[in-house]
């Protein structure tokens, strides 16, 4: 995409306008439209998007937010940055998404919100989660950092919950040339509060209504993202083609393969296989010159950063098992069929050697 990206950057340099300008405004309306949401608010990154949503709703110290026990730590960090307490709930083993059947037991008088994370690109069961939230008067904040293009009942992730946090970290399905993020929402009040909070708490220059932050999305990133939104559908389709080949190649093995819940579309941010001998498979691939990653090696409740929460480790066996067995194989719109063939052969070889 070099020519389009060069042209986008040139547009910004020629304009001499670097923050809160026309590129951001255009990007916000294009991203809202792509997601089927009424509003999009650009943010400095996904973590800040999560944090500011909670600030916008005045969720903070003394409040609890229900989060999945298996996720990237940033989901929890959004909660603790706001001063609130993350309350982990176990995922479903097959989808790796928060288990709606276990949410209600975690609700207390302090619970203010539920945070589903569409992990690896699999959309959570939003119908079940929304009905629990409505029944208990809770807000729903979605972490969609891995779910650009995921769908529930034919509707893209981006407007099922009350506010949706996006990351445009370079390797996400939609990635900037550095850190960037956004929030989508159908609620105008949330959108305008977020616009204030990201800009020092100010809606009118030098007039500050609330103590805010500096969490803006820069014009250069907005301009580049606008170009990449145009190819996002095609890139996601390419991911799907590659995933179908993986699924077919591994169908007869004893690997636990990713599933797609009926009624949802997977965004395939990551292609994750699971196996009790994950580390041996990974080592074999490494020897074959194939890079893999583990998303994620240590669950948040076992991180030193969250020692002070005093969580009982044994309470999260499903999260622990996922973190112990999961392995992400190479995947992306850039992956050639030949390269993928090498990966497939190496995985099959590795399994045979176990």
Ligand X SMILES: *Cc1c(COP(=O)(O)O)cnc(C)c1O
The residue (of 48 and 64) whose beta carbon lies closer to ligand X is 48
Angle at 156 between CA 221 and CA 230, to 5 degrees: 40
Q: Which of 69, 71, 85, 340 binds ligand X (CB under 6 A)?
A: 71
> Applying CB under 6 A, which part among 9-17, 20-28, 29-37, 67-75 lies near ligand X?
67-75
Query: Using the rule CB under 6 A, is 54 a contact of ligand X?
Result: no
**Residue of 268, 239, 249 whose CA lies nearest to 350:** 249
CB of 179 to ligand X, least distance (A): 6
Shortest distance in whole angstroms from residue 288 CB to ligand X: 27
Binder of ligand X out of 70, 146, 190, 326 (CB under 6 A): 146
Smaller CB separation from ligand X, 71 or 199 = 71
Closest-by-Cβ residue to ligand X is 46
Q: Distance of CA 16 to CAs 21, 142, 180, 223, 275, Å?
A: 10, 35, 20, 13, 52
The SS3 of residue 153 is coil
Query: CB pairs under 8 A, 24+ apart, for 156-160?
Result: 156/34, 156/35, 156/36, 157/35, 157/118, 157/123, 157/126, 157/267, 158/34, 158/35, 158/36, 158/37, 158/184, 159/35, 159/36, 159/37, 159/38, 159/184, 159/185, 159/186, 160/126, 160/130
- Binding span for ligand X by CB under 6 A among 26-34, 138-146, 281-289, 344-352: 138-146
Q: Which of 41, 74, 232, 347 binds ligand X (CB under 6 A)?
A: 74
Contacts of residue 313, Cβ cutoff 8 Å, sequence gap at least 6:
301, 302, 320
Give 127's DSSP letter. Answer: H
Does 290 help bind ligand X (rule: CB under 6 A)? Answer: no
Q: Express the helix, strand and coil content of the chain in percent, nearest 5 each.
A: 45, 20, 40
Check residue 57 for interaction with ligand X (CB under 6 A). Answer: no
Does residue number 190 form part of the binding site for ligand X (CB under 6 A)?
Answer: no
Q: 19: which strand partners? A: 218
Q: What are phi and psi of 43, to 5 degrees?
A: -135, 165
- Find the shortest distance in angstroms from Cβ 313 to ligand X: 21
Strands 111-114 and 64-68: parallel
CB of 217 to ligand X, least distance (A): 11
- Using left for φ > 0, alpha for ψ between -120 and 50, and beta otherwise, residue 245 falls in alpha
Q: Which of 126, 133, 145, 150 binds ligand X (CB under 6 A)?
A: 145
- Burial (0-12, 13-18, 19+ Cβ within 10 Å), 87: buried
Contacts with ligand X, 108-137, as mask; x by CB under 6 A? ---------x--------------------
The region of 141-149, 212-220, 225-233, 315-323 touching ligand X under the rule CB under 6 A is 141-149
Work out which of 143, 187, 320, 325 binds ligand X, going by CB under 6 A: 143
CB of residue 73 vs ligand X: minimum separation in angstroms? 8
Within 167-186, which residues bind ligand X (CB under 6 A)?
A: 167, 169, 179, 181
Determine if 224 is a binding residue for ligand X (CB under 6 A).
no
267 contributes a contact to ligand X by CB under 6 A: no
Q: How far is the CB of 88 from ligand X (least distance, A)?
A: 14
For 282-326, the DSSP string reads HHHHHHTT---B-S-SS-GGGSGGGGGG---GGG-HHHHHHHHHE
Q: Decide if residue 158 touches ligand X (CB under 6 A).
A: no
- Of the two residues 141 and 290, which places its CB atom closer to ligand X in the complex? 141
With respect to ligand X, which residue has the nearer C-beta, 173 or 186? 173
In the complex, the residues that contact ligand X under the rule CB under 6 A are: 45-47, 71-72, 74-75, 117, 143, 145-146, 167, 169, 179, 181
């Amino acid at each position: 995409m070099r020519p389009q990206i060069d042209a986008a950057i040139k547009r910004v340099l020629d304009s001499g306008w670097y923050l809160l300008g026309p590129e951001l405004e255009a990007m916000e309306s294009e991203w809202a439209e792509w997601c089927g949401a009424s509003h999009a608010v650009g943010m400095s990154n996904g973590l800040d998007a999560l944090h500011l949503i909670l600030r916008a709703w005045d969720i903070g110290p003394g409040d609890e937010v229900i989060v999945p026990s298996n996720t990237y730590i940033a989901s929890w960090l959004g909660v603790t940055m706001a001063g609130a307490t993350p309350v982990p709930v176990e995922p479903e083993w097959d989808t790796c998404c928060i288990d709606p059947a276990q949410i209600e037991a975690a609700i207390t008088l302090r619970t203010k919100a539920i945070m589903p994370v569409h992990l690896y690109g699999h959309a959570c069961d939003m119908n079940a989660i929304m009905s629990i939230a409505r029944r208990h008067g809770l807000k729903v904040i979605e972490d969609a950092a891995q779910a650009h293009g995921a769908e529930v009942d034919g509707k893209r992730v981006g407007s099922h919950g009350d506010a949706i946090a996006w990351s445009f970290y370079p390797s996400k399905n939609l990635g900037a040339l550095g850190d960037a993020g956004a929030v989508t929402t159908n609620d105008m009040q949330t959108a305008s509060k977020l616009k204030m909070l990201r800009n020092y708490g100010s809606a009118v220059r030098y007039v500050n209504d609330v103590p805010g932050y500096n969490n803006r999305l820069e014009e250069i990133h907005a301009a580049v993202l606008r170009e990449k939104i145009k190819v996002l559908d095609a890139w996601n389709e390419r991911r799907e083609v590659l995933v179908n080949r993986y699924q077919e190649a591994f169908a007869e093995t004893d690997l636990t393969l990713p599933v797609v819940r009926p009624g949802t579309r997977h965004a395939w941010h990551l292609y994750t296989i699971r196996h009790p001998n994950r580390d041996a498979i990974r080592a074999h691939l490494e020897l074959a010159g194939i890079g893999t990653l583990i998303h994620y090696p240590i669950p948040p409740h076992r991180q030193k950063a969250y020692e002070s929460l005093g969580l009982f480790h044994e309470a999260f066996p499903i999260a622990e098992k996922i973190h112990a067995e999961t392995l992400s194989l190479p995947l992306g719109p850039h992956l050639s069929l030949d390269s993928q063939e090498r990966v497939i052969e190496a995985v099959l070889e590795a399994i045979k050697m176990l």
